[in-house]
Amino acid sequence: MSEASDTVTNISEEMRAAIGTVLGTRTSYPISASDIRKWAIAVYFPETPPERFVGAGGPDAPLTAPEEFNPFAWAAPGKKPKRPDVSAAFLENQLGITPPPLNTVLNGGTVVEYGVPMMEGDVITATNRLDNYTEKQGKRGLLLFSSMKDEWVNQRGEMVKRTTSTVIRL
Amino acid sequence: MNLEIGTELPPFVRETGLENWNRFAAVMDEFVPHHMDDEAGKKSGMPGAFGMGNLQSSYMHNLIRDWMGEKGRIRNFTIQWQQPNLKDTVVTARGRITAVEDTSAGKEVALELWTEDNNDRRLANGTAKVVFSA
């Protein structure tokens, strides 16, 4: 039996009890036509984006945002500039609980479910939760998978997207 | 539009480097030194500055949008990053139809997606489902 498999679990009772906890909520400013155009120009650079992302916009023909557009990137009500926590304990630091004794963080990927599109003028509210902790034995030892689910709705309460992001720690 | 299983999407190709990454940093507020500075990239174990993982996600979305046009709608999308996008490489986003199903919402097409560079390095793998309204 390897040394790694002797570790029964890195998921403490405190961590298990935190599953489902809301990590944060945020609401965007209304999405502007300029926000959409700039995003599209950046991701299609150096070619011209499709007209629906860069047209005149306005109330009669509001622009549609690209699916992966982020309305929270810069300013949002109540958002204060801060350095991101890039430590292996970032999640438990946010929860205010004791982190697992692991030092390496890998990106485990992202799963997105899309609902209605984001349009010029929309106000998006996001709720981010700790979705789950799971473990799996890997070649480098016991791997801790931590998933967070971020759900976005628009000002009418319609689901815009649900994103599940997973980080792997070892 | 040919929706047969195995059909490849027209590739989305971009030369990548600071011109792309600085623009993406500007819209994402992602001014991280290793995406902007070769020395910072080297400190992260790379040959120099490297691109954002989320820009690979956008390139896959561009690939899908350019192919499906305005009749299609992306229902879901997954991505797993494999290797960083190194400076001054050509990145190609590719996709292939893996399944087609008639649903109440329309024809649902499953896609396998990936990005690769001109040195045969796989940068990201993904999947998506697109619905074409009846």
Tens digits of residue pLDDT in A130-149: 999 999 998 888 999 999 99
What is d(CA A161, CA A126) in angstroms, rounded to the nearest whole number? 9
Across the interface, whether the CB atoms of B59 and A44 are under 8 A apart is answered no
Please count the other Cβ atoms lying within 10 Å of the Cβ belonging to residue B3. 11
pLDDT of residue A148: 97
| Contacts of residue A165, Cβ cutoff 8 Å, sequence gap at least 6 | A108, A109, A110, A147, A148, A150
Element containing residue B95 per DSSP (H, E): strand B89-103
Enumerate the domain spans of chain B: 12-132
What is d(CA B129, CA B80) in angstroms, rounded to the nearest whole number? 16
- Tell me which fold the domain A3-29+80-169 belongs to: Thiol Ester Dehydrase; Chain A (3.10.129)
Per-residue pLDDT of chain A (170 residues; tens, 9 = 90+): 444 445 689 999 999 999 999 999 999 999 999 999 999 999 999 999 999 999 988 888 899 999 999 999 988 888 777 777 778 899 999 999 999 999 888 888 999 999 999 999 999 999 999 999 999 998 888 999 999 999 999 999 999 999 999 999 99
Q: Which CATH architecture has domain B12-132?
A: Roll (3.10)
Pairing of strands A141-153, A159-169: antiparallel
Across the interface, whether the CB atoms of A107 and B73 are under 8 A apart is answered no
Contact B87, B50 (CB under 8 A): yes
In total, the C-beta contacts within 8 angstroms joining chain A to chain B are 66
Across the interface, whether the CB atoms of B57 and A44 are under 8 A apart is answered no
The answer, for A51 touching chain B at a CB cutoff of 8 Å, is no
The answer, for A39 touching chain B at a CB cutoff of 8 Å, is yes
For residue A21, give the DSSP letter.
-
Q: Which two tokens stand for residue A141?
A: 């030892």
Across the interface, whether the CB atoms of B78 and A45 are under 8 A apart is answered no
